[in-house]
Amino acid sequence: MISLPHQGHINPFICLALKLASKGITVTFVHLESVHHKLLSKLGPQADPFSQARQSGLDILYTTISDGLPLEFDRDLHFEEHWGVIMHDFPALVDEFVGEMMRSEPDFDYFLMTDTFYPWPPAVARKYNLVNVSFWTQTALTFALPYHWHLLEQNGHFPCKGVDEMEEAIDYIPGVEPINAKDLMSYLKESGLVSIVTEAMSAALDAVKSADLILHNTMLELEPETLSALNQHQPNYAVGPLNFSKSLHSYTVSNSLRSEADCTDWLHSKPPNSVLYISFGSFVHTTKKVIEELAHGLLLSGVDFVWVIRPGMLSSDDTDVLPEGFGYMIEGKGLIVPWCNQMSVLSNPAVGGFLSHCGWNSTLESMWCGVPMICYPIAYDQTANRKLVIEKWKFGVNLCDGESLDRVEIAEKIKGFMNGAYSESLRQEASKLKVAMEKALEIDGSSDRTFHQFMEDLKAKMDAKSTKF
């Protein structure tokens, strides 16, 4: 198993590894050396995320592979260069790694499971006669749109030619309700294949069409039409949300790349549903202007809040993230932390809302905890996720479009969201989603049945290639 080296991909991959191992499969989980180095910095000798799971009896091997760059290379600062190496140099290293592993343990029968974002799995799988399993860690919607990239091109929606097109409805993607061009993922709104991410995603979504099996970290109840349409092309399996699978609760893993602040005592001092939690996730960047307007909007709203301001979240080199004196002004009302255990915060009774970038893991966690969302997408899949949260699942509201934030509007939006009758209706919808998620993960629930079907189909594919487990 090889995940993309970002927290939002690593977490569901770790959960999937545990689930596979709990079914009796020997899993070799491969972290990039740069990711392992971050774990070492945080955890020291305990950087193996599966050590406790192995003690519980699961057969999970943990190893690392170089991405072709030195450890000291700043992959966040030089994002485009890193992606270029992932695209063009990393595949040869994976090929060599897989070959050496299979030669060293020739008695094992293997299959390859990789992140859909990688374009190289078909070539490696063909070379070593492996069943090729692709794992999409996001929504089925954000898979279906680039899966039908050719339709976007044919209809003039890729590349986007101007702002006017942003309001055009895209109503021709099989299984997808009409969606405005402005709600497409950021890499589909680039002007052609000019960015390395757009180039990589184009190659990856072309490559996935030769995958034997495709897993999705969503559930049938959330996106039935989209998943049904995708199954007309290839076997697609909605087995999520993996993070909350009941069979995994007894296993403890270390999957955060950052040290976590404990917010429990502070939250326990607040009334139920009174605190707004704010986080823009582990990866995306924003501007100092956005942070300033949000900070003043929070002050004007008078709402209690926990705000994650992670190191390096600004898109500039400015180290003074918050307005001068902000810490003094929020004393008793707000808590600023560099990172925290998000599930612990969202599940606290004091938390009544989540101002989020709409990353998929964050959205799932908000659903699971029954917490409504204020949506402020920044990049990648987040605008499409916002559409689902607000229009389809109806447990969130929009903060604004783009980066033109105004502190007064922010304050009014937050006050209405946290205190009005409308917020109670959002909480009710979020609670319904939580129940649906729980049912999907129960024995004989939709995700449980789908996972069993995946296991049967995987075995059949391996038997057809003269392999078995």
Confidence of residue 469 (pLDDT cuts 50, 70, 90): very low
- The rounded radius of gyration (Å) of the Cα atoms in the chain is 22
CA distance 337 to 370: 23
Task: Tell me the per-residue pLDDT of 25-35, one tens digit each, with 9 for 90 and over.
Answer: 999 999 999 99
Which residues touch 428 (CB under 8 Å, ≥6 apart)?
Answer: none
Secondary structure class of 213 (helix, strand, coil): strand
Q: Which of 36-40, 328-332, 365-369 has the lowest mean pLDDT?
A: 36-40
Phi/psi for 180 (5° steps) reads: -75, 150
Read out DSSP for 366-403? HHHTT--EEE---STTHHHHHHIIIIIS--EEE--STT
Q: Judge if 7-255+441-464 and 264-437 fold alike in CATH terms.
A: yes
Q: What is the mean pLDDT of residues 271-288?
A: 92
pLDDT of residue 445: 97
How many other β-carbons are positioned within 10 Å of the β-carbon of residue 290? 19
Query: Residue type at 455?
Result: M
Q: Which two tokens stand for residue 379?
A: 């990049």
Task: Tell me the per-residue pLDDT of 93-117, one tens digit each, with 9 for 90 and over.
Answer: 999 999 999 999 998 899 999 999 9
- Can you give the length of the chain in residues? 469
Query: Residue type at 319?
Result: T
Residue 347's DSSP bridge partners are none
Q: Which two tokens stand for residue 355?
A: 């101002």
Q: Which two tokens stand for residue 209?
A: 């069409």
pLDDT of residue 45: 66
Per-residue pLDDT at 142 exceeds 80: yes
Report CA-CA distances (Å) from 234 to 124, 132, 199, 228, 285. 20, 12, 23, 10, 35
List of E strands, 41-198: 60-65, 111-115, 131-136, 169-170, 179-180
Confidence of residue 403 (pLDDT cuts 50, 70, 90): low
Confidence of residue 164 (pLDDT cuts 50, 70, 90): very low
Per-residue pLDDT at 146 exceeds 60: yes
CA distance 193 to 159: 8
Phi/psi for 333 (5° steps) reads: -105, -30
Q: Which residues of 22-57 are buried (b: 16+ CB within 10 A; e: fewer)?
A: beebebbbbbbbbbbbbbeeebeeebbbbbebeeee
Contact 259, 54 (CB under 8 A): no
Write down the domain spans for the chain.
Answer: 7-255+441-464, 264-437
Q: What is the mean pLDDT of residues 298-319?
A: 88
Confidence of residue 196 (pLDDT cuts 50, 70, 90): confident
CATH 3.40.50.2000 matches 264-437: yes
CA-based max dimension of the chain: 67
Residue 316 host element (H or E): none
How many other β-carbons are positioned within 10 Å of the β-carbon of residue 234? 15
Q: Is 128 exposed, middle or buried (0-12, 13-18, 19+ CB in 10 A)?
A: middle
Q: What is the mean pLDDT of the chain?
A: 91
Task: Tell me the per-residue pLDDT of 404-414, one tens digit each, with 9 for 90 and over.
Answer: 789 999 999 99
Instruction: Give just the sign of the alpha carbon dihedral 61, 83, 43, 23.
Output: negative
Q: What is the mean pLDDT of residues 416-438?
A: 91
The proportion of the chain whose per-residue pLDDT surpasses 70, expressed as a percent, equals: 93
Residue 275's DSSP bridge partners are 304, 351
pLDDT of residue 79: 85
Confidence of residue 278 (pLDDT cuts 50, 70, 90): very high
Q: What is the pTM of this model?
A: 0.94
The CATH class given to the 7-255+441-464 domain equals alpha beta
Q: Which residues of 135-148 are buried (b: 16+ CB within 10 A; e: fewer)?
A: bbbbbbbbbbbbbb
Q: What strands, in cross-sheet order, belong to the sheet with 213-216? A: 111-115, 131-136, 213-216, 236-238
Q: What is the mean pLDDT of residues 267-278?
A: 97
pLDDT of residue 444: 97
Per-residue pLDDT at 234 exceeds 60: yes
CA distance 202 to 229: 20
